[in-house]
Chains A and B, each alone.
Chain A
């Protein structure tokens, strides 16, 4: 039935010029043609399509047959495969590029990852051929194609381990490799355009900005490729963990990343300019994309990671930039990455931070760096990572990087940084860690030859006053602030032992009477109050337990929609004992400090 309809309309149109085909002709051809292919009559369709007499018709309407053809081609084991392939290839050569493009792009959208991967693999090559036929106006069509392709790639699951990358079960790696082959001729063309326009500019001494109509098309191709590269830098490149050559000698993903970087260079985007962009003033490029859209911050951060952590395209990256400059630029990228919640971003942020710091000499970063915004916001985001990130290894690494960043500061910068962190971190653990660092710095300063005005002498006392204090006076929650309090006490004990009364290098001995008033006395009061309170609680809980009365708790806690069971009496008692033990611990250090003070003062 369909076959007859098809033959009819074909016959009818043989006699007509193509501007006389009616809408009905189009529709009949489309419906009957598609049905024939679906029903397996591809041989007949093939002979119709190849017939010389029908070429005008094929050119005009042939592209409508693409959907069922591609369905057959995706199922490689169909017996009609070779016939459909022949029809397909003929259509590619005969039909109009713009229409073919639409037909092919439509078929990129499939339902499941497997089919998506298959259709990408099948269609990229034909798409390339079609685009190359579009001549000098191909830029926007290329852009549309790349955008659709990347949208589909985004639906493919990503490999995470080395084995997954090798197995490539969902064909992401193969798609990336295909993509590189796909863009090659366009990259080449864009590079040529760039060279030609520069040569032209040289020879006629035209000023930059006065671009003729021709050259606008030239830059458009480069612009589309830039968009493409920037997009891939976000996805998949920022999501996947690239494996180093030692781990995986041949890595399609690493190759893909490298090729993207080469593409950027080829279209005239210098890698250093991109990576160092946060600190460079960009020239206004006469084009239609604004800075932020043209160079998405996340993509640049991804690029910086590829350069500094994976050392891709290292042979094209100049080895003349100063490590401090690199650090300053990277801080912007690091800030962006660490502020995200996705663990892949955070991990890359930490890696980039580490690699940037390692290049800098210890104790060399000057205090004026602390006036740059990112040098203050990055530590804050780092604190968030260290305290809140669900992954333990990232929290630990965050702490390691924090210490590394401290080590690179010079003495004055360390001083300012510690002040800043004590003021802003609002976390007892972090404060305790900073105080431990302060102690180490004081220790260093007291060693012969290391004397400085920041951790001994005039500046130290204001810092000490901030450290040796209770955030809320005697009402300070001792358990919540335990880390900070213990480190403060340790510091005080250290100073009393280390600094001789007669020398008083740190000023602690003249300050001690005040510290007694503002710190030690309220702390003792707090300890006693807390101990009394908890002892009471313990007594009550044990009484309740003995009485076996059900105590209705006032709060409940739920995690992930599941309500946690109330603490059993045993656990409550345990917790209370633990709290009391903590107070004992604090008190023992207080007592020790008293003892030492007396001994020293009586010397």
Chain B
């Protein structure tokens, strides 16, 4: 605990004309918490503050400082007001920073069905293309982009997207980053990293559904 500052002047000394405003301001600025200074309009260049503040106000502030004990270091979170006041407006939509928080073990498992080239692994932000089939635990297929005949497969394109940016469910984002080009794997994803408690309303995915995807990573940009 830092020692509290002590009064430098008595009441008479304060009122006296011998004590210039600047000294009083400097003392308060040196010793008071940022928010105290802000409220009493004592922030900034001493000369400017001296121009706008009357001696009486400064004496009051000085006394209040000791009464409230709002010294420097008593309010650790200082710049909160400034920070939340400035809400930035951006023209280009930003990519969200990825979560650095470690939330525990991954909520999916992967079993390799066909090995990939083990060299071309996608990096975050890169474009990947996949064929996939998604089913629920009971076997219901809720989604696939693989057409039924080989001929039709030539006419359809695999699903293409930028991986690792939160554009797809987390199980995919994390799982596909561990796959190499040409690999086919089975991803079993817990609901927390899929569609969670809500599921996809009005669709085949119920709440709290574990999803099973068979994914073939066709291309990495």
Query: Which residues of A does B touch, CB under 8 Å?
Result: 195, 199, 270, 272, 276, 278-279, 311, 314, 318-325, 328, 358-361, 366, 368-374, 376, 415-416, 419-420, 458-459, 462, 514
B47 at the binding interface (Cβ < 8 Å): no
Contact A318 to B145, CB < 8 A, known contacts A311-B203, A420-B87, A459-B77: yes
B66 at the binding interface (Cβ < 8 Å): no
B93 at the binding interface (Cβ < 8 Å): yes
Q: Which of A360, A366, A376 contacts B87 (CB 8 A)?
A: A376
CB distance from A405 to the nearest CB of B (A): 16
Q: Is the CB of B96 within 8 A of A419?
A: no
> Which B residues lie within 8 Å of A311 (CB)?
202-203
B139 at the binding interface (Cβ < 8 Å): no
B18 at the binding interface (Cβ < 8 Å): no
B2 at the binding interface (Cβ < 8 Å): no
Contact A368 to B80, CB < 8 A, known contacts A311-B202, A318-B143, A320-B143: no
> Which B residues lie within 8 Å of A361 (CB)?
196-198
B159 at the binding interface (Cβ < 8 Å): yes
Q: Is the CB of A318 within 8 A of B166?
A: no
B60 at the binding interface (Cβ < 8 Å): no
Q: Which of B84, B93, B132, B166 contacts A278 (CB 8 A)?
A: B93
CA distance A360 to B195 in the complex (A): 9
Q: Is the CB of A369 within 8 A of B96?
A: yes
> Which A residues lie within 8 Å of B53 (CB)?
none
Query: Which residues of B does A touch, CB under 8 Å?
Result: 39, 75-77, 80-81, 84-85, 87-91, 93-94, 96-97, 132, 134, 142-143, 145, 154-155, 157, 159, 161, 166-170, 172, 195-198, 200-205, 213
Question: Residue on A with the closest CB to B82?
Answer: A462
Contact A358 to B198, CB < 8 A, known contacts A415-B84, A416-B84: yes
Q: Is the CB of A419 within 8 A of B84?
A: yes
CA distance A526 to B172 in the complex (A): 60
> Which A residues lie within 8 Å of B89 (CB)?
371, 373, 376
Q: Is the CB of A371 within 8 A of B145?
A: no
Q: Is the CB of B84 within 8 A of A320?
A: no
> Which B residues lie within 8 Å of A514 (CB)?
39
> Which A residues lie within 8 Å of B81 (CB)?
462
Q: Is the CB of B168 within 8 A of A322?
A: yes
Q: Is the CB of B93 within 8 A of A328?
A: yes
> Beyond the given A318-B143, A322-B166, A376-B89, could you list 13 further A-B residue pairs with CB under 8 A, ordered by the A residue number?
A195-B154, A278-B93, A279-B93, A318-B159, A319-B134, A319-B205, A320-B134, A320-B159, A323-B198, A361-B198, A371-B89, A373-B90, A514-B39
Contact A322 to B93, CB < 8 A, known contacts A311-B203, A416-B87: no
> Which B residues lie within 8 Å of A318 (CB)?
143, 145, 159
> Which A residues lie within 8 Å of B161 (CB)?
321
CA distance A415 to B84 in the complex (A): 9
> Which A residues lie within 8 Å of B84 (CB)?
415-416, 419, 459, 462
CA distance A279 to B39 in the complex (A): 43
CB distance from B76 to the nearest CB of A (A): 8
> Which B residues lie within 8 Å of A372 (CB)?
90, 93-94
CA distance A359 to B200 in the complex (A): 6
CA distance A520 to B178 in the complex (A): 61
Question: Residue on A with the closest CB to B204?
Answer: A319
> Which B residues lie within 8 Å of A328 (CB)?
93
CB distance from A309 to the nearest CB of B (A): 9
Q: Is the CB of A368 within 8 A of B172?
A: no
Q: Is the CB of B195 within 8 A of A459?
A: no
Question: Residue on A with the closest CB to B78?
Answer: A458
CB distance from A462 to the nearest CB of B (A): 5
CB distance from B213 to the nearest CB of A (A): 8
Contact A195 to B96, CB < 8 A, known contacts A359-B198, A376-B89, A415-B84: no
Question: Residue on B with the closest CB to A268?
Answer: B157
> Which B residues lie within 8 Å of A458 (CB)?
75-77, 80
CA distance A278 to B94 in the complex (A): 12
> Which A residues lie within 8 Å of B155 (CB)?
195
Question: Residue on B with the closest CB to A376?
Answer: B89
> Which A residues lie within 8 Å of B143 (CB)?
318-320
CA distance A276 to B160 in the complex (A): 12
Q: Is the CB of A320 within 8 A of B168?
A: yes
CA distance A276 to B162 in the complex (A): 12
Question: Residue on B with the closest CB to A365?
Answer: B96
Question: Residue on B with the closest CB to A317?
Answer: B143
CB distance from B5 to the nearest CB of A (A): 20
Question: Residue on A with the closest CB to B88?
Answer: A371
Question: Residue on A with the closest CB to B76?
Answer: A458
CB distance from B39 to the nearest CB of A (A): 8
> Which A residues lie within 8 Å of B196 (CB)?
361
Q: Is the CB of B87 within 8 A of A370?
A: yes
Q: Which of B167, B198, B213 contacts A322 (CB 8 A)?
A: B167
CA distance A73 to B161 in the complex (A): 53
Q: Is the CB of A320 within 8 A of B77?
A: no
CA distance A523 to B159 in the complex (A): 62
CB distance from B98 to the nearest CB of A (A): 11
Question: Residue on A with the closest CB to B144?
Answer: A318
> Which A residues lie within 8 Å of B96 (CB)?
324, 366, 368-369
> Which A residues lie within 8 Å of B39 (CB)?
514
